[in-house]
Amino acid sequence: MQRLAQAVWHLEPGYLDVDGTVGELAWAMSQHVGREQEWKRQLWFDGDDIVAWAWVFPSASLLWQVHLQHEAVLDDVLEWFVRSTDGPRDASVATANTAAVDALRRHGFEIDEDGPRGMLNVRELDEIETPRVPDGYRLTTMAEFGDFDARVDIHRVVWDPSRVTNESYANVRTTWPYRNDLDCVLVAPDGSLAAYALAWYDDEHRVGEFEPVGVHPTHRRTGLGRAVNLFGLHRLRDAGAHTALVACVDDENNRGPELLYRSVGFRQLSYSVTFKQR
């Protein structure tokens, strides 16, 4: 699945769904332990080459990707989706991917005006502002900090309710392309974690990605989220990246993430919407 994400990035980055990138797939596939039986997944191959994948969640929601040079498989994926699930069904798609949009419409799907929408954002790493933190705070990575219990704890607080556990985060750490020197954290004066940004690095295409990012509730609106993002961008550039990605929701009631990423230089690359079946 990640290999196909790389292939689509190489051909047309704007066709990637916000949840279908290398980093998003790595996090989504590894952050839970014991949920595998809840998912339905299918792969399509041309010889040894993967040309499409489909991932269906218990809500009959489809995450999918088809190689741009194998558009005939779009209908095969949607036919499998309909056969494999009970309605109501929905699917996410990047709006720039007009072939996929047309396929959804052929199979009776229409835009869900109330459904989730997301943005995939991009920036180059040639010039990056130096991060600044208050006295007593320090920016580092899990390669140095090393307390993964604390790393799990802050994630669970930020994303409450969360299914992430010590066991599942151990699973994250064995998933390509995780690196503990790119698992960025901001340590408060008392030694607790105030913020974090997990960066994934595709060294083949020199593209890094943040997923997930979080700031402890007691430290929000103090600039620490911006600082840990800037630190992560520096770490990615030091690792060899020339481009960075991050996804966020398009939600008029929660513009915080979008504004944060704009403040550190990201701009919109693609836009994903939800289609539901009539």
Q: What is the CATH number of the domain that holds 199?
A: 3.40.630.30
Range of the domain at 45: 2-119
**184 and 66 within one domain:** no
In terms of pTM, does the model score above 0.85? yes
The verdict on residue 56 lying in a domain is: yes
The verdict on residue 51 lying in a domain is: yes
Phi, psi angle pair for 65, to nearest 5°:
-155, 135
Q: How many domains does the chain contain in total?
A: 2
- Whether a cis peptide bond, with omega within 30° of 0, leads into 134 is no
**139 and 9 within one domain:** no
Q: How many helices (H) and strands (E) does the chain have?
A: 9, 12
Helices 224-239 and 256-263, interaxial angle, to 10°?
50
**256 and 181 within one domain:** yes
Q: How far apart are the C-alpha atoms of 43 and 132, rounded to whole Å?
A: 45
Phi, psi angle pair for 159, to nearest 5°:
-110, 25
Query: According to the model, what pLDDT value does residue 16 have?
Result: 96
Q: Which of 240, 235, 229, 220 is nearest to 265 (CA)?
A: 229
Q: How far apart are the C-alpha atoms of 16 and 66, rounded to whole Å?
A: 10
Residue 23 identity: G
Query: According to the model, what pLDDT value does residue 35 have?
Result: 76
* pLDDT mean by block of 10 residues, the chain; 278 residues: 97 96 96 84 96 96 98 98 95 98 98 97 98 97 98 98 96 98 98 98 98 97 96 98 98 95 98 96
**158 and 262 within one domain:** yes
Is the four-CA dihedral 218, 220, 223, 226 of positive or negative sign? Answer: positive
Task: Indicate the helix (H) or strand (E) that contains 12.
Answer: none
**135 and 110 within one domain:** no
